[in-house]
Structure 1
Amino acid sequence: MDPKLGYSGFSLLKHAVTGNRRWPDFLAEPEMRASYDIVIIGGGGHGLATAHYLAANHGVTNVAVVEGGWIGGGNTARNTTIVRSDYLLNASFQLKHFALKLWSDLTQDLNFNVMYEPRGYVDLAHSDGELEHFTLRANAMRMRGAEASILTGQEVQHRVPELDLSGRKRFPVAGALVQEAGGVVRHDAVAWGFARSAAASGIHVFQNCPATGIDVKSGRIVAVNTPKGRIACKQALISVAGSSSAVAQMAGIDLPLSTINVQALVTEPVKPALDAVVNYNAGLSYVSQTSKGEFVLGGATDGYASYARRGSFERIEDVLARAVQMFPFLSRLRLMRHWSGSADIPMDGNAMLGRTQVDGLMINAGWGYAGFKATPAVGWCMAELLATGKIPDLVAPFTLERFAQGAEHDDAGIGPYPWLQ
């Protein structure tokens, strides 16, 4: 029960009798001030998490969050809700694993059910060489205190009975890396929970209020312009996912990244049939089933720069061909919805976090399609940076300076091909 909003069994019955017409506003529209200590550009999961932790961890509440659309309408809602930390390189693992720990307690932290479900993340290997690499990754995870296991043969079949491992396959399954703490989180609930918590602490959240300009004077940020007025500020954070390049250019900053379309789709709902997230690596296709019974499917990026946020039949066909090889029964289901989002990806496939060359202006960009799983950790760390001025240890490997220093973090071993990350 939340006494501020009156959530209880009694209130549900009362509002049902009155036709649910008297519920208080979930997120009230505040009066915009002329100035704030901090302006967060982007009201997605990362921006709202930063606002929440600014108030919760540091007592900083003179903050404005400006969102170009509505809360829960951007990339936070345009993903496949998967959370995990099965990374090889230490920097990526530590940040994602800290996020995984935060996910497990986030419902209690926000007093809002984000529906974290540790169903298990099953990463399929399609050759002995790939399985050897997975074994290396699993061992590295264990050494850092995470749970991970390697399955082969009938062990994989036992863990995911629905997998079709029979017959001759173009890409046979040699085994799998399994992280049981991995799973899914309800993306809408994440956005709403962080937004409600931030607003309740006194932080102002403005919907349908995009940043239209960033004023810089003598190398320092002085204001953020919006359709609702100019906001003077001491610090600002750009946290706008696929729009990072466009917003950064308002301050005269060119970011070393590409924006690429990522697609996902969902089937009609059926009875429970899959209790894990399964990832097919030969071309990439990942599948999970929602609590409503729908199968959520996603795959690789489109492979070319685009801000379109629209899908293509070619990518749908690629994802479905691999999904059906794993689970032939999916071929009998109808697709119900399809969506896409804009992923901003640097040349090493890893995020860019920290300061920019404009004093007081911070950046959180370059997450590609790995951003959702890191949401609470990013919010925690960026809040610490804004509140204290110090770069957190978890963020230090991902600063913009790494490109000038030759200290890139290429988790996938792909090199300068962002569409393959």
Structure 2
Amino acid sequence: MSSNNGHGGHSRYSAWSLVRHGLTPKSGWPRAWREHDLESSYDAVIIGGGVHGLATAYYLARDHGMRKVAVLDKAYIGSGGSGRNTAILRSNYLTPEGVRFYDRSVKLYEHLAADLNYNVMFSQRGHLTLAHNDSSLRTMHWRTEVNKLQGVDSSVIGPDEIKKLVPYLDTSADTRYPILGALYHPPGGIVRHDAVVWGYARGADAHGVHIHQQTEVTGIDVSHGRVTGVQTNRGPISTPVVLNATAGWATLISDMAGVSMPVQTFPLQAAVTEPVRPFLDTVVVSGTLHVYVSQTDRGELVFGASVDPFASYSMRGSLEFTEGIAGHVLELMPALHRMKLLRQWAGLCDMTPDYSPIMGPTPVEGFYVDVGWGTYGFKAGPVSGEAMAATLASGKPPEIISAFGLDRFTDGRLVGEKGAAAVGH
């Protein structure tokens, strides 16, 4: 069995060696990514150590040769939205721009484990978006046609086919919310969110990127309309390029550079059950019931809903959410009534007016943003990193993200994704 040390070398370990190293303090295994002194200057500074920031750093170093790059996180990498999401992947969006964008991300995810030499546990098990009324069913047909035109595998299926895919779903006609059909998206699935973060961090470090945890940005220096540096709790950094790749605090960071963002922040809650024998192969989403559910490789059911109905920075769970999610899940799958809910949590979601992200340059030269991801940012980690790396290297956004610029809100070129992102999964 081989294990990569994150810096290009390989060592062979027996099964006993793996156990011994796992139980022995200071076993001699190298760190997945190194600690560095904070340098006084970098060619680029990326604020946010989640999947977007780390992926950008990785592709910036690997594909564009820009290796004097710092990734800053005020806590530890993956401590924000990347560690608080339910890690569902799909590309069956509503607009052509959105479909093309997320389809590229799914394709990158398909090869990510091989590219990073790190098992990210991507499982393409299929994705079902249920329709409970005629209006929802029309939207599913609409999305299917948009998807097919972009070469994405999606189709509308009926209750009999749904029952074959998910036998525990109540597809009878005498329920409160009968299932009339569903948008079936075979490439969709789930991934291990922390593995993606760790894989990108290790890959970026191997290419020379400096990852600085416990490093909070307290200010952004701007002179004559362009970025000149950032201020941190560990000292100042001189840099001509800054990327805001934060979730939850996107507006606070942008305000430091004098750039206003049309973003509101809402909590999104989720919960997980005790592990049980695997029985749910596909991801199931109901926009009408505001619920989605998937089963992890360890057997837990992961539940989520739509964002809380009020703007807030709170990351505490609520009894109201627990009662609501339990009732909606049982309406879909009554047989789960004996399962125990183990824990719940919340993350912060930055919502834009058109439910699409904001990516690219800003009126301040050298200050770039990759923000406004709502409830669907983890799906876009690889493609966002790839596209933002190209943007930072050239100063110009590639075609795949050209529709998501900040200027679309003043020019009236909105990319309306609410019909495919209202529940977000």
Scaled by the length of structure 2, what TM-score is found? Answer: 0.95
Q: Tell me, in whole angstroms, the C-alpha distance in 2 between the residues paired with 1:213 and 1:11.
A: 49
List per-residue Cα deviations over 1:157-191 (Å, max 9, x = no partner): 11211211235222110000111000001000010
Q: 1:291 to 1:46 in 2, by over 3 A?
A: same
1:329-368 equivalences in 2 (<5 Å): 329-368=335-374
Q: Given residue 16 of structure 1, which amino acid in structure 2 is its aligned partner? A: V
Q: Tell me, in whole angstroms, the C-alpha distance in 1 between the residues paired with 2:249 and 2:318.
A: 21
Q: Given residue 66 of structure 1, which amino acid in structure 2 is its aligned partner? A: L
Q: Tell me, in whole angstroms, the C-alpha distance in 2 between the residues paired with 1:337 and 1:147.
A: 34
Q: Tell me, in whole angstroms, the C-alpha distance in 1 between the residues paired with 2:120 and 2:366.
A: 32
Out of 40, 48, 59, the residue aligned to residue 54 of structure 2 is 48
List gaps (5 residues or longer) in structure 1.
none
1:363-374 equivalences in 2 (<5 Å): 363-374=369-380
In 1, are the aligned partners of 2:97 and 2:403 still within 8 Å (CA)?
yes
Please state if 1:105 is matched with 2:106: no
Q: Given residue 212 of structure 1, which amino acid in structure 2 is its aligned partner? A: T
Between 38-47 and 161-170, report the one with greater CA deviation.
Answer: 161-170
1:397 Cα deviation from its structure 2 partner: 0.5
**3-state SS, counterpart of residue 239 of structure 2:** strand
Q: Given residue 17 of structure 1, which amino acid in structure 2 is its aligned partner? A: R
Q: 1:3 to 1:155 in 2, by over 3 A?
A: closer
List per-residue Cα deviations over 1:261-305 (Å, max 9, x = no partner): 000000000111100100012131000000000000000100111
**3-state SS, counterpart of residue 241 of structure 1:** coil
1:7 Cα deviation from its structure 2 partner: 6.7
Q: Tell me, in whole angstroms, the C-alpha distance in 2 between the residues paired with 1:410 and 1:55.
A: 33
Out of 9, 13, 16, the residue aligned to residue 10 of structure 1 is 13
**3-state SS, counterpart of residue 199 of structure 2:** helix
1:255-270 equivalences in 2 (<5 Å): 255-270=261-276
Q: Tell me, in whole angstroms, the C-alpha distance in 2 between the residues paired with 1:207 and 1:13.
A: 33
2:181 corresponds to: 175
1:318 Cα deviation from its structure 2 partner: 1.9
2:408 corresponds to: 402
List per-residue Cα deviations over 1:29-80 (Å, max 9, x = no partner): 1122110000000010000000011012111111000011112221101011
Q: Tell me, in whole angstroms, the C-alpha distance in 2 between the residues paired with 1:62 and 1:39.
A: 9
**3-state SS, counterpart of residue 337 of structure 1:** strand
Q: Tell me, in whole angstroms, the C-alpha distance in 2 between the residues paired with 1:8 and 1:175.
A: 51
1:291-310 equivalences in 2 (<5 Å): 291-310=297-316
Q: 1:250 to 1:12 in 2, by over 3 A?
A: farther
**3-state SS, counterpart of residue 24 of structure 2:** coil
Out of 120, 124, 139, the residue aligned to residue 118 of structure 1 is 124
List gaps (5 residues or longer) in structure 2.
none
Q: Tell me, in whole angstroms, the C-alpha distance in 2 between the residues paired with 1:91 and 1:142.
A: 13
In 2, are the aligned partners of 1:103 and 1:376 still within 8 Å (CA)?
yes
Aligned pairs, how many? 418
Q: Given residue 379 of structure 1, which amino acid in structure 2 is its aligned partner? A: G
**3-state SS, counterpart of residue 350 of structure 2:** strand
1:149 corresponds to: 155
In 1, are the aligned partners of 2:44 and 2:240 still within 8 Å (CA)?
yes
1:4 Cα deviation from its structure 2 partner: 2.9
1:15-414 equivalences in 2 (<5 Å): 16-17=19-20, 19-21=23-25, 22=27, 23-166=29-172, 168-412=174-418
**3-state SS, counterpart of residue 280 of structure 2:** coil
Q: Given residue 118 of structure 1, which amino acid in structure 2 is its aligned partner? A: Q
Identity of aligned residues (%): 41
List per-residue Cα deviations over 1:194-238 (Å, max 9, x = no partner): 000001110000011111110111111111111122110010100
**3-state SS, counterpart of residue 251 of structure 2:** helix
Q: 1:278 to 1:9 in 2, by over 3 A?
A: farther
In 1, are the aligned partners of 2:287 and 2:423 still within 8 Å (CA)?
no
Q: Given residue 29 of structure 1, which amino acid in structure 2 is its aligned partner? A: E
In 2, are the aligned partners of 1:302 and 1:419 still within 8 Å (CA)?
no
Q: Tell me, in whole angstroms, the C-alpha distance in 2 between the residues paired with 1:359 and 1:183.
A: 38
- Across the aligned residues of Structure 1 and Structure 2, the Cα RMSD in angstroms comes to 1.7
Scaled by the length of structure 1, what TM-score is found? Answer: 0.96
1:9 Cα deviation from its structure 2 partner: 5.8
Q: Tell me, in whole angstroms, the C-alpha distance in 2 between the residues paired with 1:343 and 1:17.
A: 41
Q: Given residue 114 of structure 1, which amino acid in structure 2 is its aligned partner? A: V
